[in-house]
Structure 1
Amino acid sequence: MQLIHLAASAGYTTPPTWRVLTKAGYFIGLSGAIGATVTYAASVRPALRAPESHRGDVDVMRRRTAGYLAWAGVVLLVAGYFQLAARLARAGKGMPFGDALSPARIWDFLVAPAGKGAWIAQGTIYLVQNVVLVLASAALIALFLPRTRRHLNTLALTALPLSLAVTLVAAVPATTPKNADKVLDLVFSQLHIVSGVVWVGGLAFLAALAASRRLLGEGAGLLWADIWRRFSLVALVCVGTVLTSGLWLSWKHVGAISQLWTTTYGLLVLVKILLVLGMVVAGGVNQFWLMPRIVKAREDDDTSSLLHLTLRHFPKVVWGEVALGIAVLAVVPFLGGSARSEAGSPAAVSNGSIFAAGAFLVLTLVASLYITVRTSDALARRTPSVTA
């Protein structure tokens, strides 16, 4: 009640329940499809090219992967339909969400002519987006069929660019951006979305895949050591991109540090920042404590400890990251408007000094990520023994 009262007094409008659920569901759908396919391509698929001695473990993981991807296709398809209905409910003068679920109304929305000054109809953009979404979902859902699972690589790698295109196509502006800042807003927003869903979706995918540990042999620790190592690099790139794009978006919408606790939008951004920092800290535990021990166990050929570390300790921390990631996705639908408008601050306009400061922060971030990798490697060399 206090949040609602603050929202009313500061000019913040709490989104309706259907808007919260459809937007959160949409990002969960993107996380499942994009996060899982990118993680499969970058981390799981290379590890599954194991020697014949690991064939049983590889077969188990391929079956689990196919099942996860198939359900990710279902979630994406359902979430995409509700998100499209939500777009219709908010278009023009708006309409009740229940009415917007009508396929006939949705079709009329998709084929409506372009508005004045638009180079393409907004409905056409959404039509292309949802055609791509259906194709991506179909490629993933096909993995429910046992005979198509033999083509896991082909279907997963086909769904990957299609899933990415779902969010990228939707970001195409129907009218020409007014200035360079508007273009940067679009670019950084998409970088933020893609890197975020790869990070959260990849963690969820690997955590679910690790649940098959009871079906795996003693040598599966070697496979998973390789998977976690590869995904750690993917996660570092995602963290860097999330933080870089987040700096731009935060500056655009928050005019002063004090607005983080004096406006509703700022409070929500602050909650999101704290949740993301929690994910970074959990990732740091894996990077600085578990990864060095995994490397040491691998070098010592300690299969028992390696299996314990990769399929028990590591997933426990990852599930914590997943929970924080889901909480972030739950906050996102409430981020409407901006702290600047609530506080009466002027709109953000970029200039040379802003870009210089941004470049310095990005270089600092890149250096810190590089130091993170080097420190983890150094700790691996100095770890005297593995504690299982």
Structure 2
Amino acid sequence: MAEKPPISKILNSIKRDPDYASGHHGTDHKVYKPIDCGLGSSPFGYPEEVDLALKQISPNLLNEYPADPYSRGLAGLVRERFGLRKSTSIFFGGTGSYGLLASLLSDVVCVEAIAKGVEVVGVGPQFTNISMLSRRAQIPYHHIAPKIDLPYEEKIDLLIRRRAKATSPAIVYVDNPNNPTGDAVNMDTLYKLTEATAGRDLLIIDEAYGDALPDVSSAFRLADQFEHVVALRSLSKTVGLASPRLGYMAMSGLTAEAYKNLELIFSLDTVTNMIGRAALEPAVLARFLPQVRQMTASAKLNFVRVLNDHGVKTFDSHPSVSILLARAGQDFFNNLLQVGIQTENGQTFKPTHPDMTNRYVRFRIPACEQEAEEIGRRIDDINSKSV
């Protein structure tokens, strides 16, 4: 057998979970007009102040390096919004909260801890990329897999009880609101989880959909108080700015000191920084977010009614979060594709829960009643073909 070329000895051989790529985005249907309920971007736009900021872009700005190389100006806005101490560190990244999560696992966790068997621990189903990012960092990922229809509060309570009894340190990952269900736990539950992990674990709370909830529900305040807590956010979801890929996170104490040594300069380009300054202004969000939450809750209530009326089971989900988990038939994902409806395949989340298959889909809610009703009619078409 021929010897492998030298380059193969230094390249990483880690691959994606096969389930991660089991679905595709976009439909090319000749009968049905495509309806995209797949990616979790907001159907309700973004703050109008962003358009005003974009008008300030000039060729000179694009020709120079960013004037705020570590986005310290944006950090002040985040601290003001959540009432954080000046000593609490806010870090930014240009690949969303997803990129910051990757950096936390690959860069911050030390090789000694990995060698001693530290694991990433979560409760499934959850953001499926946590499995792939853990393997990317060469850290084993272990998920608790309770019944999918168990309320999210009870799932997290199960995690709390297990961590309270644990003797070995772990990286505990929780998404709140949960992806794919859109359900959320309250601050009391997050505080209990924080206490159960204090002094032993690194607790990562991913709030990619967190802007759908009131600010008092945010784990950013926990990151301000406890040095083992890291809270992540993104502008991609409720704020409606998926394209700039602006993510940010809060941490304090020893965890923040460790990340400061690894922070990349110019992690945000000038245009993204300008967008962030407009969108993260506390007064802007105080006006914009309640409107989006109200529109989301109204659209979601109607959409859940439509799905239930057409025989689709929906799972517990917070009213103002734009995603929800649903189930129908043996291959709901591909059946929906056949009638031009794009969703996120439940099979994508299988690395975080063994029961997640293409019977399940994650919907991003449609923006209007007419689109919701059209989805209902197309589900009727699916049902009529299966009779």
Asked if TM exceeds 0.5, the reply is: no
Higher relative contact order (CA 8 A, sep 6+): 2
Give the TM-score of the pair, scaled to structure 1.
0.24
For normalisation by structure 2, the TM-score amounts to 0.24
Higher normalized strand content (fraction of residues) = 2
Higher helix share: 1
